Amino acid sequence: MRAMVYRGPYRVRVEEKPDPRIEHPNDAIVRVTRAAICGSDLHLYHGMMPDTRVGHTFGHEFIGIVEEVGSSVQNLQVGDKVMVPFNIFCGSCFYCARGLYSNCHNVNANATAVGAIYGYSHTTGGYDGGQAELVRVPFADVGPSIIPDWLDDEDALLMTDALATAYFGAQLAEISEGDTVAVLGAGPIGLYAARSAWLMGAGRVVVIDQLPERLEKARTFAHAETINFNQVDDVVLEMKKQTDHLGFDAVIDAVGAEADGNMTQHLTSARFKLQGGSPIALNWAIDGARKGGVISVMGAYGPIFSSVKFGDALNKGLTLRMNQCPVKRQWPRLLEHIRSGYFKPSDIVTHRIPLEDIAEAYHLFSAKLDGCIKPVIIPDAS
């Protein structure tokens, strides 16, 4: 099969690889029809995630058609069109039984501090991902769902991570009616999180980024106010001014380890890999929240320590909530919202790129060229 392959930091290419095989009775093999590149893939692409091996195929956001099933699979058949959550999970361990699918204990031999994710290095289990023609899907009876007839392919694709994660992020912000909510980052996660905050009853939503085209999307798609952090001297002070010196009731970090805005932090983490992630956005969240407020961290950070301003969080009595999103738990309610017309997830897709051009797709998304917000990868474009 043809598959995206990691060759080293900032270098990827398409290679011919052996087809994946059924390795466990509850595995399925899925033929990928659409995949996406995510902000999380950039942490791998930039070489920030420990145990990212050369030859690894990325891609945790994909939909496709069931090509083959293992002997114990009961809920799926060959030919079914499925969406696959980015989490790999067993459905029966201590964590899965309690709905914490992203924290499954039975699927990641390499680490206990994180669950398993498709195409996301060996630190999350060593599974090749879906930016390829075929992919191995473990626990086929637990993870994937058949895509409802009425749901568009690209909307289904965005359910596998971005939309579900952002919706989850807004829930962790514990928003009650009339709360002021700041969202750091206007990528797919931030845009949907802003949108979701309204569903929870937010009274004001302010999105913070520096990319004009994304801030524009925050105003139109997410109905939010915006701050361009490059056009103010001091973001935290601006956040205070905009809330009558109180600070925000809730702040959602939808940036993560690649955060910009402070050269030292950015270089020591994103470039020289001396921190598990640049905590600029997280620190802005901590300082921009009101005392007793809630921080929801959706932005991803690596397992190495980062210089987070913990004292401020303590002294302000903040609640910090975070996790990888348990995607499948979000689906029933999200499908209702899409049906009601509250979301059209694919509105943020900006680029559709053949798998063969994967290197250009990564550069485009990584350097945020051409107004790129969400690139979709098409494996069978030929």
Partner 1 sequence: MDTPMERTGHPPVYTHRKPPLPETPEQLRARIPGWGADLDPADRPSYPREIAAETGAHWDLPEPQPEHGERERSMEHGMLTPVFGTAQPLQGLSGVVRRYAYRRHSEGKAAHWLLLLAADRVDVAEHVLRSFATLRPDNPITETGIRAEVKHGSSRFGKGRSDIRHQAIDPVVNGAPWVAGALAAAWAVRRVARRAG
Binding site for Zn ion (CB under 5 A): 38, 40, 89-90, 93, 96, 104, 106, 161
Helix (H) or strand (E) holding 358: helix 358-366
Residue 229 half-sphere exposure, CB side, CA atoms within 13 Å? 25
Residue carrying structure tokens 């983490």: 269
> Which segments within 256-324 are labelled E, that is strand?
289-297, 319-322
Contacts of 46 (CB under 8 A, 6+ apart): 9, 10, 258, 270, 366
Instruction: Out of 40, 131, 171, 265, name the contact with partner 1 by CB under 8 A.
Output: 171
Q: Which is nearer to Zn ion, 106 or 196 (CB)?
A: 106
Q: How far is the CB of 254 from ligand NAD (least distance, A)?
A: 5
For ligand NAD, give the closer residue by CB, 40 or 196. 40
The distance of closest approach from Cβ of residue 73 to ligand NAD in the complex, given in angstroms and rounded to an integer, is 26
Q: How far is the CB of 320 from partner 1 (least distance, A)?
A: 14
**Residue 354 near which of partner 1, Zn ion, ligand NAD, none (CB within 5-8 Å, type-dependent):** none
CB nearer to partner 1: pick between 33 and 180: 180
- Is 100 a binder of partner 1 (CB under 8 A)? yes
Q: Which of 25, 148, 292, 317 binds partner 1 (CB under 8 A)?
A: 25
Q: Judged by CB under 8 A, does residue 339 bind partner 1?
A: no
Among 4, 12, 82, 250, binds partner 1 (CB under 8 A): 12
Residue 77, Cβ density class (10 Å: 0-12 exposed, 13-18 middle, ≥19 buried):
exposed
CB 114 within 8 A of CB 303: yes
Query: Nearest distance from residue 18's CB to ligand NAD, in Å?
Result: 29
Q: From the CB of 330, what's the least distance to ligand NAD, in Å?
A: 11
Pick from 26, 87, 131, 160: which binds partner 1 (CB under 8 A)?
26
Residue 216 three-state SS: helix
Give, as one character, the DSSP assignment of residue 112: S
Gap between the Cα atoms of 125 and 144, Å rounded: 18
Select from 50-58, 149-157, 281-289, 309-317 the region that touches partner 1 (CB under 8 A).
50-58
The number of residues that bind partner 1 (CB under 8 A) is 114
Q: How far is CA 4 from CA 60, 146, 362, in A?
A: 12, 25, 11
Q: How far is the CB of 104 from partner 1 (least distance, A)?
A: 9
CA dihedral 185, 347, 31, 120 (to 10 degrees): 0
